[in-house]
Amino acid sequence: MTQTYAHGPDPRGMFGRFGGQFVAETLMPLINDLAAEYEAAKNDPAFLEELAYFQRDFIGRPSPLYFAERLTEHFGGAKIFFKREELNHTGAHKINNCIGQILLAKRMGKKRIIAETGAGMHGVASATVAARFGMECVVYMGTTDIDRQQANVFRMRLLGAKIVPVTAGTGTLKDAMNEALRDWVTNVDTTFYLIGTAAGPHPYPAMVRDFQAVIGRETRAQMLEKEGRLPDSLVACIGGGSNAIGLFHEFLDDSSVGIVGVEAAGHGVDTGKHASSMAGGTPGVLHGNRTFLLQDADGQITDAHSVSAGLDYPGVGPEHAWLHDVGRVEYVPITDHEALEAFHTCCRLEGIIPALETAHALAEAFKRAPNLPKDHLMVINLSGRGDKDMQTVMHHMQEKLEKH
Ligand SMILES: *Cc1c(COP(=O)(O)O)cnc(C)c1O
């Protein structure tokens, strides 16, 4: 029997030994409610029709599959394509998931949305859909992230969201996620928790994946139209793993398609200053699911480090942890330095300023492309645009100049 991969999770929300529902007892009825409501919604033609309408007219889908001709020439190997999620409304893939979840919130009669955010992209996407659907929106954000993502904080305020600064821990995404979970336990009746990545307790990882899977479905159709066959490889960056699983899921059972997930290695996996939960982590429980985590010998979560705020998370979605276990997807680390180099190459050669998260996927693709044959079709998920990262990039260029 050939093994298949695109079927998970099991009814308890497990992907192999990962996933599940590790939440406070008070949340269990709510989580079960949500799972049941989502099962009903995804089989309801009216829900799917409304989702398709907002994907088209609000987000701007389908996003193009673009032939990166100059990068292809530059590296002289694989034919490189970009799946252009950075052209979506709000500048990244996150809106795909937010539209899906807010339609579900509306269906459940909820009036208040809570969200956590790291880079601020999920906060902006959540504030955007909350404004569109007339719901109250509260965004939990670590104080470190508030400092380094001021433009996004201002965007959220313009859209009517309330930002709650989180000072606990390192003041980053994991701390914001903990606060959001606390809020949810307290306000379960009125509140919908809009999780921004393919993590959290079941049904979130599967639900977020399904809302992002439009990326892979479009890619398949677009590549068949352009090249008459499937891509040979897919490359995407991994924070919690939602843009990656969104591209990968459609192709998991196509054994000819090589799949590569790129984690943030920060200063290097050996330095301890990184965000590579699979290359440098061990299994444990965080945010309601069992997965690979950065933790010390006592099970204390350790700080994640990355130049990109969106990858600076000490865990990874449980489906990726499982795909790593079974070997269907190859996970590799890329350092800050490598990502910044790839960022500049993409700007100069394609006229596209990518997000620093995305630059990690680009860096891995650029390592591989020269060694692959010219008929190798490679798709990189261009998960977001780099406007939000200007300050960070400027700072790094300054440092480099001062060193010389
Ligand atoms: C948030 C973000 C990511 C990381 O999140 P995933 O859930 O792993 O996709 C990657 N790229 C961009 C542009 C982001 O905004």
Which sequence spans correspond to the domains of the chain? 14-56+94-208, 63-91+213-403
Q: Which of 79, 83, 94, 174 is catalytic?
A: 94
pLDDT at 399: 86
Which residue is closest in CA terms to ligand 1's atom 1?
310
Ligand 1: which atom is nearest the Cα of residue 208? 7
What CATH code is assigned to 14-56+94-208? Answer: 3.40.50.1100
Site to probe by mutation for ligand 1, drawn from 197, 312, 346, 360 as the one with most ligand atoms within 8 Å of Cβ, is: 197
Looking at domain 63-91+213-403, which CATH architecture does it have? 3-Layer(aba) Sandwich (3.40)
Q: Do domains 14-56+94-208 and 63-91+213-403 have the same CATH topology?
A: yes
Ligand 1: which atom is nearest the Cα of residue 85? 13
pTM: 0.96
Q: Is 242 a catalytic residue?
A: no
Q: Sort 118 into a burial class: Cβ within 10 Å, 0-12 / 13-18 / 19+.
A: buried
Which residue is closest in CA terms to ligand 1's atom 10?
357
Kindly give the distance from the C-alpha atom of residue 334 to the centroid of ligand 1, in angstroms, as a whole number.
15
Q: Is 383 a catalytic residue?
A: yes
Neighbours of 22 (CB within 10 A): 13
Site to probe by mutation for ligand 1, drawn from 197, 207, 243, 343 as the one with most ligand atoms within 8 Å of Cβ, is: 243
Q: Is 105 in the pocket of ligand 1 (CB under 6 A)?
A: no
Give kind and range of the element (H or E) at residue 235: strand 233-237
Could you please report the per-residue DSSP string of 117-166? Answer: ESSSHHHHHHHHHHHHTT-EEEEEEEHHHHHHTHHHHHHHHHTTPEEEEE
Q: Sort 50 into a burial class: Cβ within 10 Å, 0-12 / 13-18 / 19+.
A: middle
Distance CA(96)–CA(85), nearest Å, equals 9
Kindly give the distance from the C-alpha atom of residue 220 to the centroid of ligand 1, in angstroms, as a whole number.
21
Kindly give the distance from the C-alpha atom of residue 71 to the centroid of ligand 1, in angstroms, as a whole number.
23
Ligand 1: which atom is nearest the Cα of residue 86? 13
Q: Is 96 in the pocket of ligand 1 (CB under 6 A)?
A: no
Which residue in 201, 198, 199, 191 sits closest to 213, CA to CA? 198
- Count of residues making up the chain: 404
pLDDT at 401: 78
Q: Is 120 in the pocket of ligand 1 (CB under 6 A)?
A: no
pLDDT at 313: 80
Distance of CA 155 to the CA centre of its chain: 20
Which residue in 110, 130, 89, 87 sits closest to 34, CA to CA? 110
Q: Is 359 in the pocket of ligand 1 (CB under 6 A)?
A: no
Residues whose CB is less than 8 angstroms from the CB of residue 115 and which lie 6 or more positions away in sequence, other chains included: 122, 123, 126, 137, 138, 139, 140, 180, 193, 194, 195, 196
Which residue is closest in CA terms to ligand 1's atom 2?
310
Distance CA(179)–CA(140), nearest Å, equals 7
Q: Would you state the structure tokens that stand for residue 53, as one six-digit string? A: 């309408």
Q: Is 119 in the pocket of ligand 1 (CB under 6 A)?
A: yes
Kindly give the distance from the C-alpha atom of residue 238 to the centroid of ligand 1, in angstroms, as a whole number.
7
Q: Is 261 in the pocket of ligand 1 (CB under 6 A)?
A: no
pLDDT at 28: 92
C-alpha to C-alpha distances, 70 to 48, 67, 76, 83, 364, nearest whole angstrom? 38, 9, 10, 16, 17
Which residue is closest in CA terms to ligand 1's atom 15?
121
Ligand 1: which atom is nearest the Cα of residue 242? 7
pLDDT at 2: 67
Which residue is closest in CA terms to ligand 1's atom 3?
310
Cα dihedral 167, 157, 84, 75 sign: negative
Q: Would you state the structure tokens that stand for residue 141, as one six-digit string? A: 């954000």
Residues whose CB is less than 8 angstroms from the CB of residue 291 and which lie 6 or more positions away in sequence, other chains included: 18, 19, 199, 277, 283, 284, 285, 315, 316, 317, 318, 320, 321
Give kind and range of the element (H or E) at residue 398: helix 390-403
Whose tokens are 């068949």? That residue is 224
pLDDT at 149: 84
Q: Give the CA count within 13 Å in the CB-facing half-sphere of 24.
A: 10
Q: Is 255 a catalytic residue?
A: no
Q: Which of 85, 86, 116, 250 is catalytic?
A: 116
Instruction: Identify the segments of the chain with pLDDT beneath 50.
Output: none
- Helix axis angle for 94-107 and 45-54, nearest 10°, is 140
